[in-house]
Amino acid sequence: MERGFWKTDAYKQVLRLSNPYTHYGKITKISGLTIEATGLVCKIGDVCRIGTDDKGRDILAEAVGISEHKVFLMPYQDTGGIGFGSPVVNTGYKLMIGVSKEMLGRSVDALGNPIDGGPPISTDAYYPINGVPCNPMERPPISESMELGVKCIDGLMTIGKG
């Protein structure tokens, strides 16, 4: 065995592909539910984490506007604990919800967290909340009307099945 000989090719490849830097921003203004941050690099729709005074509790917010060096964020949660200078980091992802069969029959909030007092829900897959738009030209044509029993709707604003 040779002394000082290490196989570093794999490590060099990982370093080349990874980004060791994280862009942090800071909160500069809070007005109602709109949070303004500077020093942040992101795109509209990106989810950002805002650090709070509570250890281990980050608040998720979505980038809804960008102006020169400012990013406007809209929080998904209560803004308690956020203050001037709170750190903000872009996750680089759009909002996705974890889903599984354990969600059937459960009450969850908008982020998929259980609110019924039951055990935590495990996640089988993640899906974007905006979904995938379908092409309306690929849908089957509507050929049958649906009677609602309300004469003015049935006569003037016919509803189609499909």
DSSP 3-state assignment of 19? Answer: coil
Cα separation, 71 vs 29, whole angstroms: 11
**71 in the Ramachandran plot: left (φ > 0), alpha (ψ -120 to 50) or beta?**
beta
Q: Provide, rounded to the nearest whole percent, the portion of the chain with pLDDT above 70.
A: 93
* Sequence letter at residue 107: S
Q: How far apart are CA 87 and CA 77, in angstroms?
A: 16
Which one has a higher pLDDT value, 79 or 16? 79
Does pLDDT of 41 surpass 80? yes
pLDDT tens by residue, 79-127:
888 989 999 999 988 988 889 999 999 999 888 889 999 999 998 998 8
CATH class of the domain whose range is 10-90:
mainly beta
CA dist., res. 162 & res. 160, Å (int): 6
Whether the pLDDT of residue 62 is over 90: the answer is: yes
Helix (H, G, I), strand (E, B) or coil at 144: strand
